Amino acid sequence: MNAMNPILEVEQLSLGTRSNKTLVSDVSLKVAAGESIGLVGESGSGKSLTLRSIIGLLPSGIEQVGGTIRLDGRGAMIFQDPVRALDPLCPVIKQLAEVVYYRQKVSRKASRTIALELIEMLGLPDSLKQKDRYPHQLSGGQCQRIVIAMALACKPNLLLCDEPTTALDVTVQRQILGLITSLQKELGYAVIFVTHNLAIASSMCSRLIVMKEGRIVEQGDTFSVLQRPQHPYTQMLINSVLPLPDFERRADQ
């Protein structure tokens, strides 16, 4: 990581409710251009709130009560529920074209052309070019690809992924994860990938940051964290990953 010029620098971030309940405490992290960071921990550990604070989308009633966030460039976010992230009353290509229009400051005609180029890049059906559809007329995987296209339409330097495969089946999960990784190599954006699944984070990310109860308890390069975890909570997360059955041994018995 280029520690001298990170594209994202979060220092001692604290988030709380209006009733003074602290939800995230003294979180500090840096992300370099093109880097992949895994933010891992169980539900309620503060991962998603940390992500939302970076892009300024904290839920109502929660606010930043301390620390600083500096993002050098554009950020965009992929949400975990693709269907809820889309307007159910608006066709998807029209939605995507609107994002292009407002974020890239191009004409309406150019915004539709760019939108169609994005759906082709993301492997969506060619039929969408002839007949637009509503979110409920697409599969979960197709909706997630539309959401990814919307994020890429912002031309982000940093892509924030909030458990983007949770609502998808295993086969589609693999496709979406592969898509995010391949597009990162092609377009060069950095990624913060929020997940409770340590196996997914370790396969995608060069560094891991482990959160528990709103605090960072451990961070480091992926190999070191997995091979030599320093915190008992990290060890618990590693031990909770179910091993694959030893089919060869079973066949020999």
Mean pLDDT for all residues in the chain: 91
pLDDT in tens, 192-232: 999 988 888 988 999 999 999 999 999 999 999 999 999 99
> Chain-centre distance of CA 176, in angstroms?
11
Q: What is the pLDDT of residue 172?
A: 85
CB atoms inside a 10 Å sphere around CB 73 = 13
Q: Above 80 in pLDDT, residue 23?
A: yes
Q: Among 153-157, 182-186, 248-252, which is the least confidently predicted range? A: 248-252
* Model pLDDT for residues 106-116, shown as the tens digit of each residue: 999 999 999 99
Q: What is the pLDDT of residue 208?
A: 96
- Give SS3 for 228: coil
What pLDDT shows up at residue 245?
62
Q: How far is CA 130 from CA 93, 107, 144, in A?
A: 10, 20, 20
CATH number, span 8-252 = 3.40.50.300
User: Structure tokens of 63?
Assistant: 């606010």
Matching residue, tokens 């693999």: 174
d(CA 160, CA 152): 11
Q: What does the pLDDT look like over 36-53, one tens digit per residue?
A: 999 999 989 999 999 999
- Residue 250: pLDDT above 50? no
CA–CA gap between residue 196 and residue 220 (Å, rounded) = 17
CA distances from 138 to 132, 162, 168 (A): 10, 21, 13
Domain ranges, ordered by start, for the chain: 8-252
What pLDDT sits at residue 131?
A: 93
4-8, 12-16, 58-62: which range is least confident on average? 4-8
DSSP run (H or E) holding 118: helix 108-121
Q: Is the model's pTM score more than 0.95?
A: no
> Distance between CA 199 and CA 173 in Å, rounded?
13
Give the integer Cα–Cα distance in Å for 97 and 106.
10
Please name the residue that has the structure tokens 């839920």.
59
Q: Would you place residue 246 in the very low, low, confident or very high pLDDT band (cuts 50, 70, 90)? A: low
- High-pLDDT (> 70) share of the chain, %: 94
In the predicted structure, residue 242 carries a pLDDT above the cut 70: no
Counting residues of the chain whose pLDDT is more than 90, the rounded percentage is 74
